[in-house]
Amino acid sequence: MAWSQSADLNLLGNQHFSKGFYTEAFQCYSQALEVDRKNGDQRALATTLGNLGNICAVSGRREQARAYYTEVLELQKILGEDRGISTTLANLGNLSADAGEWDRARAYYLEALDLMNLLSDDAGKAVVLSDLGLVARETDQEAEALAYYQESLILMRRVGNDAGQADVFRMMARLYLSQGRFDEAQSCTLTSLDVARRLKDELRMGGAWYVLANCHEAQGEWKKAVQYLQKVVQVDEKYQLPKLAENTKRLQTLLTRLAVATETPHE
């Protein structure tokens, strides 16, 4: 009876989570946690703690998320759930990456990757390889980053993870952009955008438009930069994303630059 109550609460929490209703999701998971602690079902407890970790991670409560994931990891080791352990290690890596703790993130990701290799978990490996690519890019190991991204893409295609492919192409574009390789950056971003459009995924479309705006801004192409950033701001407004104010301010700056460039007579 208690297990069923916990499962129902987690299911309801997941439904809220998928819609972006994080407060409601957290409440459901917290209620499930009370049930699990009273019931003593370790597997149910691990599931609930993992969900609590996820909700805290996406809502910026990093230390709370770390505490939940650490407890999950201890339970998964007791239960011998290698697949679950690899996922939790990757989640801990994500928290460290979000905090800019790159060495710590890399260690978690590599440990997760070792387990995924043993489990032949191509879907999990594809994501972790892209995460390792991000760490490599952020620590100025650009050749290594590109190798990770390319290996990730191969696996993403193999397992049919289209959304993941969109993400990796966008990450590769950012790497090329940082190197001033604008044609390659645009090519990768447009591929990412095509996939996102096919998936009707507006958030990923917004991510691609953001990189395209960066591409054109870096080349002084103010009109195209403005056009893409306007699309980004529309997505920010629709989904109330945290960068709305920052991107709106940046758009105003680009509009000013465009006006100045338009007014300046050409010799």
Angle at alpha carbon of residue 167, lines to 166 and 168, rounded to 5°: 95
> Alpha-carbon distance 201 to 135, whole Å?
25
Report the pLDDT value the prediction gives residue 30, as an integer from 0 to 100. Answer: 97
Q: Assign 82 to helix, strand or coil.
A: helix
Please name each of the domains of the chain with its CATH number: 1-80 (1.25.40.10)
pTM, rounded to two decimals: 0.91
Report the pLDDT value the prediction gives residue 217, as an integer from 0 to 100. Answer: 97
Q: Which residues contact 62 (CB under 8 A, 6 or more apart)?
A: 56, 95, 98, 99
Q: Which residues contact 154 (CB under 8 A, 6 or more apart)?
A: none
pLDDT at 2 > cutoff 80: no
Please, are residues 195 and 173 in contact by the beta-carbon 8 Å criterion? Answer: no
List, for residues 87-131, the tens digit of each pLDDT value.
Answer: 999 999 999 999 999 999 999 999 999 999 999 999 999 999 999
Report the pLDDT value the prediction gives residue 242, as an integer from 0 to 100. Answer: 84
Place 187 in a pLDDT band, splitting at 50, 70 and 90.
very high
What are the structure tokens assigned to 146, written together?
A: 């590109």
pLDDT at 228 > cutoff 80: yes
Nearest to 133 by CA among 122, 141, 125: 141
